[in-house]
Structure 1
Amino acid sequence: MSMDELIAAARVNKAWPFQEAQRLLKRYPDGAKSDGSPILFETGYGPSGLPHIGTFQEVLRTTLVRRAFEAMIGARPEDGRTRLVAFSDDMDGLRKVPDNVPNHDMLASHLGKPLSRIPDPFDAGHESFAAHNNAMLRAFLDRFGFEYEFVASNDMYNSGRFDDALRQVLRTNQDILDIMLPTLREERRQTYSPILPISPVSGRVLQVPVEVVDAEAGTVRFTDEDGSDVEQSALGGMSKLQWKVDWAMRWYALGVDYEMYGKDLTDSGVQSGRIVKALGGRKPEGLIYEMFLDENGEKISKSKGNGLSIEEWLTYGSEESLGFYIFPNPKSAKQLHVGVIPRAVDDYWAFRERIAEQDLDKKLGNPAWNLLRAKGGWHADEAPGEGESLPVTYGLLLNLASVLGTQATPEALEDYLRSYLGEVDIRPELARLIHCAINYTRDFIVPTLSKRAPAANEAAALRALDAELATAPADIAAEELQTIVYEIGKREEFGFESLRDWFRGLYETLLGSEQGPRMGSFIALYGVENSRKLIGEALARA
């Protein structure tokens, strides 16, 4: 693939990352800013809690758009023509004590203070609560190999790097009030100020009316919690901004060109867009993505605990499968629960296998192609593992593990695989999925298994299948076994209305589930003699 071919294909591709990147290209037709600075992509993180799937999906999706844009302008990651900033809003005041952290009483005594100025409740050696969670964020992003620059609000405010932007907020204080006050309840209007001073006495972020004394000097006046009148600087970490104003100021100060956000922040995005314009800046490009739902179709809430954590997904599936599940249309809500994992794993590998035979336009729309290049960029002609496939599906591993039950160990599954495939090396990806399959089977399949007795016609068909297997050669291929199963199901004497009824009978009587694998592949993997034992056990229940 030549650079010219890639650029031409990327600029017309219909996959959503390229559609988003095309909007950026309209903003910068030459692929660069007039001052030569990099195109800046940003993601935001609130460090009052630990990173979660929402954090992962936002960084992943933004990275996909970034790589698509680089493809359109022929830039390599090492060229420095784009940047991705992971921004932590750690100057935000602590509003309530989280349920999932220790030392509640200590945290309660610091309510209202910036997260970056509260001791670490985990006693893990970090200088603050925010520093602990920021370290978790960086470790979280590094775990998945994201390329990013970490920027903390605390550092930007305290170092004075936000001071020029803060002066601009003070200069346009009334314009910002004119934007925000009509959107607030009457009671809130009485105390609302774009600038939140930090009390010199208590160290808390104050929600009080603020008078701008001298915008150029950065001086403001307000009434402190103890009733005293205070005149102090708003610069150098002595204040922070209201959320929507802070977001807009960040866009203005950093020159953010692209940031996506969830549907729940739609109104914030509108108001912050108006504020950044008042500051003299420009709202970034970006899409508004839909939220995750649980298996009942209800919005996932951290407080309700009805979501699925990164750790839970990686217990039962691979990180690539998580990226694959997240990849499709971000504007559609997705149910996020353990039941979606097996199909996501198998679909990822199916798409990955197709890459080698696809033309360039199809590759650009292939989720696996995008995910392989999210970490290293588009320019590698062959990403590591591109076009590879697994010798068995994850679904088949689950069925094998469920039949083995308590005897399902990594060693046992690997022995079956070697018997099925010959002496092959168990690649790391396959070894990882073997562990995941055992975990998933133990927690979600075995407790629900219920092998029913076969009906009379099913029992007759099972006897016929057993007779065929009794004469089958030891090295019979999976496809030949599949043909045998098919032919028995089509025989009129057994009275199946469709092959679907025959296969459902096999799954429910032999495996104890309503769905199952290609039976030829399963019999070949589990072994002919072991499969005959399953049939014998089913017939004994008839």
Structure 2
Amino acid sequence: MAWKGKRGDKEAFGGGCKMIFWADKLADEVIKREERLKRVKNLRVESGIGASGIPHLGSASDVARGWAVCLGIRDRGYDSDLIAFSDDRDGLRKVPLGFPESLKEYIGKPVSHIPDPFGCHESYGEHMSSLLLESLEKLGIDFKFYSGDRFYAKGELDREIGLALKEAERIKKVVEDWLGQDLRTVFFPICQSCGRIYTTRVTGWEPGKVFYVCDQEFEGKVSGKPFMVKGCGYQGECSFRDGKLAWKVEFAARWSRLKVCSEAYGKDLADSVRVNDWVSKNVFGWEPPLHARYELFLQKGGKKISKSVGNAITPQDWLRCGSPQSLNLLFFKRFTGTREIDLNSVPAYMDEVDWLEDVYFGREKIQNERELQHPKRLFEYIHYLKPPKKPGIHLPYLMLANILRMVPDLELAKKIVMELKGLDETEELEKRLRWAKNWVGERKAERPEIKPEELPALSELAEWLEKERDAEEIQGKVFELARKHGLKPSEFFQKLYLILLGSPYGPRMGKLIQLLGCKRVAEKLRESGPAGI
């Protein structure tokens, strides 16, 4: 049975009377269920890893959320492992955009049997899996990795393959009755002649061995263009270890073999999970794991993020620009509900991590005790239930980004920030500046709206700042120009802060401009108008 949080489900999302954080709720459900079933001591959580294309944020979020449930189980005194299972025996169906078109000849072959086009790993599948594993290690997630290709090769699923073949007609009927689909086969042999996996069909079997013919076809894609991949006509036999189960069966086989107690899934896999639950219980004799269904991340504009169409934002992209905790916040803040995401979201998540830390240490007051519980628990989870013992430095992300736009030299920018904020040089400050510098990259700054009546004051200030001035002189000049041009001084100051720091507030204006450099600020002001001032 899947647990499905809904909008307004206060208990599931951390609101309402009980204020149970979603990972804690799922951990409680898993423990309660396994105590009733009395079958295992280690409450294993599994997440699948696709290996057919560049892993994106959604790929990492699946594993990270599994890790959160695993942490919740451990926090209650139970043993729990997180399994990251790579689907690296899946066949390649599409050549991802931007990849060499020479991969076309390998479409239909298991990704672990395709040479790495980049030449740094033993196979295409290993290359793709390694990218996600690298990001999980950077996030500090503790997991046990399983390669599907090696799992099959070692015979780990021999029992389940035999049972699936024995009950193939029952499984096919369930798929047809429930989903209206024709499941051609429960097992795909790898053709010994052409090496493809989705062009084969089983014609007979005996313990440990299948007989097959390679006479099927499926649609492949290169550069977004479809074409038909046809079988070579070969007839032969192979062992259970030289093929793979269909998706409608494979999840169940893994759950049974690895004794999995919990696995979340995206809504796009709902039908497959439903069938696998039936197969797990009725064919393999393993009560299926507790599920939780989550929504998917989307590109800005609502397009699905895909490994094969070249629009993936990778965990590495995010971690170049933000902290592991900011990415955990993206993954853990909410379990359900579709979210549009791109790297422009990094500043907001970085600043929210700082806010959560202020709440956790009582520097940000929330009077309602029930409303306080959720951000505190969320802060603990983004630190894997080992939060820092004291708060760190907090610096608005866009302030750092805007300073770095005007002062690209990292060392000089660091000195300016230290002077503005009265900070000592620390490793944390260095990291924050490097994240912001990477984020700025080629990204253009968003221009604040400039009202026509503000243009003369900004233009005159820019001209006046062509000479270096001292802080007090600058402070007085800003007041003077606001009054001269009929502007409210408070609103003029806010506009200057928005232009210089991306925030309506900041340190004393005279000192800020002096530290940034009067000529740099003059240039920034001239760039801020609709067509320059």
TM-score, normalized by length of structure 2?
0.77
What is the match of residue 401 of structure 1?
Answer: 404
What is the match of residue 175 of structure 2?
Answer: 180
- Once the 2 structures are TM-superposed, how far is the Cα of residue 363 of structure 1 from its aligned partner? 6.8
Verify: 1:156 aligned to 2:151, yes or no: yes
Matches of 2:247 and 2:523 in 1, distance apart? 67
Verify: 1:343 aligned to 2:348, yes or no: yes
SS in 1 for 2:210: strand
Question: Which protein, 1 or 2, shows the higher relative CO under an 8 Å CA cutoff with sep ≥ 6?
Answer: 2
Give yes or no for contact 2:54–2:312 (8 Å, CA) kept in 1. Answer: no
What is the match of residue 369 of structure 1?
Answer: 380
Matches of 2:511 and 2:52 in 1, distance apart? 52
- Once the 2 structures are TM-superposed, how far is the Cα of residue 276 of structure 1 from its aligned partner? 1.6
Verify: 1:432 aligned to 2:437, yes or no: no
The amino acid across from 2:108 in the alignment is G
Give yes or no for contact 2:28–2:73 (8 Å, CA) kept in 1. Answer: yes
Distance 1:456 1:195, change over 3 A: closer
Q: Supply the RMSD in Å over aligned alpha carbons.
A: 4.2
Q: Please identify, of 221-230 and 137-146, the stretch whose mean Cα deviation from structure 2 is larger.
A: 221-230
Q: Please identify, of 129-138 and 282-291, the stretch whose mean Cα deviation from structure 2 is larger.
A: 129-138
Distance 1:304 1:166, change over 3 A: closer
Verify: 1:74 aligned to 2:77, yes or no: yes
1:221-240 Cα offsets, whole Å, 9 max, x none, are: 3334465654554x2x1321
- Once the 2 structures are TM-superposed, how far is the Cα of residue 41 of structure 1 from its aligned partner? 0.6
- Once the 2 structures are TM-superposed, how far is the Cα of residue 136 of structure 1 from its aligned partner? 3.3
Distance 1:522 1:487, change over 3 A: closer
Give yes or no for contact 2:47–2:85 (8 Å, CA) kept in 1. Answer: yes
Q: 1:5-44, aligned counterparts within 5 Å? A: 13-29=19-35, 34-44=38-48
Verify: 1:419 aligned to 2:419, yes or no: yes
Verify: 1:277 aligned to 2:278, yes or no: no
Distance 1:390 1:202, change over 3 A: same
What is the match of residue 6 of structure 1?
Answer: none
- Once the 2 structures are TM-superposed, how far is the Cα of residue 370 of structure 1 from its aligned partner? 0.8
What is the match of residue 211 of structure 2?
Answer: 221
Verify: 1:324 aligned to 2:329, yes or no: yes
The amino acid across from 2:164 in the alignment is V
Distance 1:486 1:260, change over 3 A: farther
- Once the 2 structures are TM-superposed, how far is the Cα of residue 352 of structure 1 from its aligned partner? 1.9
SS in 2 for 1:520: coil
What is the match of residue 5 of structure 1?
Answer: none
Give yes or no for contact 2:497–2:505 (8 Å, CA) kept in 1. Answer: no
What is the match of residue 114 of structure 2?
Answer: 118
Distance 1:292 1:43, change over 3 A: same
Matches of 2:153 and 2:62 in 1, distance apart? 27
What is the match of residue 478 of structure 1?
Answer: none
Give yes or no for contact 2:91–2:111 (8 Å, CA) kept in 1. Answer: yes
Give yes or no for contact 2:85–2:148 (8 Å, CA) kept in 1. Answer: yes
- Once the 2 structures are TM-superposed, how far is the Cα of residue 307 of structure 1 from its aligned partner? 4.2
Matches of 1:239 and 1:196 in 2, distance apart? 5
The amino acid across from 1:119 in the alignment is P
Give yes or no for contact 1:42–1:84 (8 Å, CA) kept in 2. Answer: yes
What is the match of residue 93 of structure 1?
Answer: 91
What is the match of residue 7 of structure 2?
Answer: none
Matches of 1:137 and 1:440 in 2, distance apart? 21
Verify: 1:138 aligned to 2:133, yes or no: yes
Q: Please identify, of 15-24 and 198-207, the stretch whose mean Cα deviation from structure 2 is larger.
A: 198-207
- Once the 2 structures are TM-superposed, how far is the Cα of residue 351 of structure 1 from its aligned partner? 0.8
Distance 1:148 1:537, change over 3 A: closer
- Once the 2 structures are TM-superposed, how far is the Cα of residue 39 of structure 1 from its aligned partner? 0.7
1:189-232 Cα offsets, whole Å, 9 max, x none, are: 3x701121222333322445434544xx2443333446565455
1:471-520 Cα offsets, whole Å, 9 max, x none, are: 9879xxxxxx9xx99999999x9575x96x55554356x54x9x524133
- Once the 2 structures are TM-superposed, how far is the Cα of residue 538 of structure 1 from its aligned partner? 6.4
The amino acid across from 1:223 in the alignment is V
Matches of 2:373 and 2:158 in 1, distance apart? 48
What is the match of residue 226 of structure 2?
Answer: none
Q: Please identify, of 50-59 and 437-446, the stretch whose mean Cα deviation from structure 2 is larger.
A: 437-446
Q: What are structure 2's unaligned runs of at least 5 residues? A: 1-13, 216-231
What is the match of residue 507 of structure 2?
Answer: 520
Distance 1:125 1:22, change over 3 A: closer
The amino acid across from 2:404 in the alignment is A
- Once the 2 structures are TM-superposed, how far is the Cα of residue 51 of structure 1 from its aligned partner? 2.5
Verify: 1:167 aligned to 2:162, yes or no: yes
Matches of 1:99 and 1:323 in 2, distance apart? 28
1:94-119 Cα offsets, whole Å, 9 max, x none, are: 223333444x43x4333322222233
The amino acid across from 1:254 in the alignment is L
Give yes or no for contact 2:108–2:199 (8 Å, CA) kept in 1. Answer: no
Matches of 1:419 and 1:363 in 2, distance apart? 36
Distance 1:353 1:181, change over 3 A: same
- Once the 2 structures are TM-superposed, how far is the Cα of residue 241 of structure 1 from its aligned partner? 1.0
What is the match of residue 3 of structure 1?
Answer: none
- Choose from 183, 192, 203 the match for 1:200: 192
SS in 2 for 1:82: coil
Verify: 1:506 aligned to 2:509, yes or no: no
Give yes or no for contact 1:352–1:369 (8 Å, CA) kept in 2. Answer: no
Give yes or no for contact 2:109–2:195 (8 Å, CA) kept in 1. Answer: yes
Q: 1:434-513, aligned counterparts within 5 Å? A: 434-446=433-445, 448=447, 455=454, 496=488, 501-502=491-492, 505-507=495-497, 511=500
SS in 2 for 1:51: coil
Give yes or no for contact 1:400–1:522 (8 Å, CA) kept in 2. Answer: no
- Once the 2 structures are TM-superposed, how far is the Cα of residue 129 of structure 1 from its aligned partner? 2.4
Matches of 1:252 and 1:395 in 2, distance apart? 49
**Whose helix fraction is larger, Structure 1's or Structure 2's?**
1
Distance 1:167 1:365, change over 3 A: farther
Distance 1:254 1:15, change over 3 A: same
What is the match of residue 4 of structure 1?
Answer: none
SS in 1 for 2:81: strand
Q: Please identify, of 109-118 and 143-152, the stretch whose mean Cα deviation from structure 2 is larger.
A: 109-118
- Once the 2 structures are TM-superposed, how far is the Cα of residue 176 of structure 1 from its aligned partner? 0.6
TM-score, normalized by length of structure 1?
0.76
What is the match of residue 246 of structure 2?
Answer: 242
Kindly, what percent of the aligned residue pairs are identical?
25
Matches of 2:520 and 2:54 in 1, distance apart? 49
SS in 1 for 2:392: coil
Matches of 1:295 and 1:199 in 2, distance apart? 41
SS in 2 for 1:240: strand
- Once the 2 structures are TM-superposed, how far is the Cα of residue 298 of structure 1 from its aligned partner? 3.0
Give yes or no for contact 2:471–2:514 (8 Å, CA) kept in 1. Answer: no
What is the match of residue 339 of structure 2?
Answer: 334
What is the match of residue 225 of structure 2?
Answer: none
